[in-house]
Amino acid sequence: MKARTSLIPLSIVCIAATSTVTPLLADTTWISTSSTTFSTAGNWNNGLPSTGPQLGIFADSATIQHTLDVAGTARVAIGFRFDAFAGGGGFIFNSSSSPGPGIILRAGGTANGIINNDDNTQTFNVPIKLTSNLGSQGAGAAMVFNAVTANSHMIFNGVNQSSAPWTINLNGATNLTFTGSGNITVGSSGGGAIVNTNTGANGGLIKSGSGRLTLGGTLANTFIGGNVINQGTVTAAKVNALGSGNALKMTGGTFETGGLDQTLGTLDLAGNATIDLGNGVSNLKFSNSSLFDWTTFTLTFLNYTAGSDTIQFGTDNTGLTQDQLNQIIFGDLGNATAQIDANGFLTPSAVPEPSTIALGVLGGLGVLVGARRKLNRK
């Protein structure tokens, strides 16, 4: 009986909590074949995405109006979804009041951000600001931009009109995840700034999925927060593309510096990963990362050119441990491991002679055999 009486107040609490949640409306689909005006309710089959608000769906076809004018008022939706249609074209979001406030996307719903299922590129020439499901700034604004198929590309080139113009405003979200097999580009032209105007909260970017995320544009990414690369490629198309001083964790994938200077915080390695210094002179700098346990994973550097590129961990020879240095290989320099100098700069170690490698392998086999014998005795 004691348990049952305690359940009653709890259920009342639950009802009270759910009653404050915005009621879910059906989704609404863009149906205009001629008008470009986003804010005309008749251009949607179930009212504006801001009604409710609700999920905005864009169904590609041969006749649908592919260019939209968001104009001078921020447009709200609980996510956008682009449906698959063979052929057709991608949608382009412009603003006749440019730069304008763009789109305020709410987290949650079935999209939880933007899903592109189509075989066309979706282009946002308007800025995007993330908010929670109820329209607030803060951690709950975390969401996902998903370029589902290998052709489901997305481009973000908008610039906000405020004094801190952005292409994407994290707005306090714990993170923004880019995923899918398609390529996502922020700032192929224009500012391309990823910012966080909710300065009380720090959030970074997460890269999952096999596609490429390109971070470019003419304005700095000023958000503060740790970034994670799990899969695919992150390509820097500007200096400090991951935000100056932000920590990076790699569980896989590739970070391409774009041949440009990149200053980051610490580097944590939780999977085999690659950093490609590309063409051009790249000064890559991490802070002292010796406190991270990279366990047995391998960090591969590609396109390191001695005498022009630099790789630095910290400011002295303690920037990485000897174990970490042994887990680094210079992939196009005979898989040499790394050494660190008194100022924290890495260079390839001398590649061992083949006979030494053979001895090392034999020695390793001896250890394995010894270990097997020990196990067998148990």
Residues that bind Ca ion (CB under 5 A): 60, 85, 88, 118-120
Element housing 282 (H / E): none
Indicate the residue among 118 and 261 with the shorter CB distance to Ca ion: 118
The one-character DSSP state at 43 is G
Beta bridge partners of 103: 75, 128
Cα–Cα nearest to 310, from 352, 268, 348? 348
Hey, what are 55's tokens? 């999920």
Of 119 and 276, nearer to Ca ion (C-beta) is: 119
DSSP 80-146: EEEE--SSS---EEE-SSSS---EEEES-TTTSEEEE-SSS-EEE-S-EEEE-TTS--SGGG-EEEE
Smallest gap, in angstroms, from Cβ of residue 87 to Ca ion?
A: 6
User: What CA–CA distances, in Å, run from 315 to 28, 218, 242, 289?
Assistant: 55, 29, 21, 11
The residue among 119 and 268 lying less far from Ca ion, judged by its C-beta, is 119
Question: Minimum distance from CB of 29 to Ca ion (Å)?
Answer: 15
Nearer to Ca ion, 119 or 261 (CB): 119
Residue whose CB is less far from Ca ion, 69 or 118: 118
Q: In the complex, what is the shortest distance from the CB of residue 233 to Ca ion, in angstroms, rounded to a whole number?
A: 24
Q: Which is nearer to Ca ion, 90 or 190 (CB)?
A: 90
CB of 39 to Ca ion, least distance (A): 25
CB of 232 to Ca ion, least distance (A): 22
User: With respect to Ca ion, which residue has the nearer C-beta, 88 or 245?
Assistant: 88
- Smallest distance, Å, CB 57 to Ca ion? 14
Residue 144 CB, nearest approach to Ca ion (Å): 21
Of 61 and 73, nearer to Ca ion (C-beta) is 61
**Contacts of residue 228, Cβ cutoff 8 Å, sequence gap at least 6:** 175, 204, 205, 206, 207, 248, 249, 250, 251
Neighbours of 3 (CB within 10 A): 6
Q: Which residue is nearest to Ca ion (CB)?
A: 88
**Minimum distance from residue 85 beta carbon to Ca ion (Å):** 4
Q: Measured over all CA atoms, what is the biggest interatomic distance in the chain, rounded to whole angstroms?
A: 80
The β-bridge partners of 284 are: 262, 311
CA–CA dist 195, 183 (Å, integer): 21
Helix (H, G, I), strand (E, B) or coil at 378: coil
What distance in Å separates the CA atoms of residue 256 and residue 235, rounded to the nearest whole number?
Answer: 5
Instruction: Kindly state the smallest distance separating residue 61's Cβ from Ca ion, in Å.
Output: 8
Q: Quote the CA–CA distance of 289 and 268 in Å, as a whole number.
A: 7
The residue among 87 and 364 lying less far from Ca ion, judged by its C-beta, is 87
